[in-house]
Amino acid sequence: MALIKKGEMKAMDVAALEKKLVEFENELHAERSQLKSTGKPANVGRLQTLKKGVARINTFLRQKKVVTKGKTEKK
């Protein structure tokens, strides 16, 4: 189960992706702190899903930044 779909990420601009990245990282931090304090997470799969979501968003951000950088250099 993905927290955000690939099509949704393609439609977002860089600012929206960065905002979503901060949101995911905050959720991931909360889940990790709960894991450290109690020894077990409330939802086991949530940690893995959040980590994958952060990685996907970082990938899309990098791709969008490379594309926009390439467009500005060609002009």
DSSP state of 4: S
- Give residue 39's region: left, alpha or beta (phi > 0; psi -120 to 50): left
- pLDDT tens per residue across span 42-75: 888 999 999 999 999 999 999 998 888 877 776 5
Q: Is the pTM of this model over 0.85?
A: no
pLDDT at position 42: 80
pLDDT at position 74: 67
pLDDT at position 73: 73
- pLDDT mean over 17-46: 91
Q: Is residue 31 within 8 Å of 50, Cβ to Cβ?
A: yes
Residue 64: which residues within 8 A CB-CB, separation 6 or more?
A: 13, 14, 17
Give the domains, in start order, of the chain with CATH numbers.
Answer: 6-70 (1.10.287)
pLDDT at 40 over 90: no
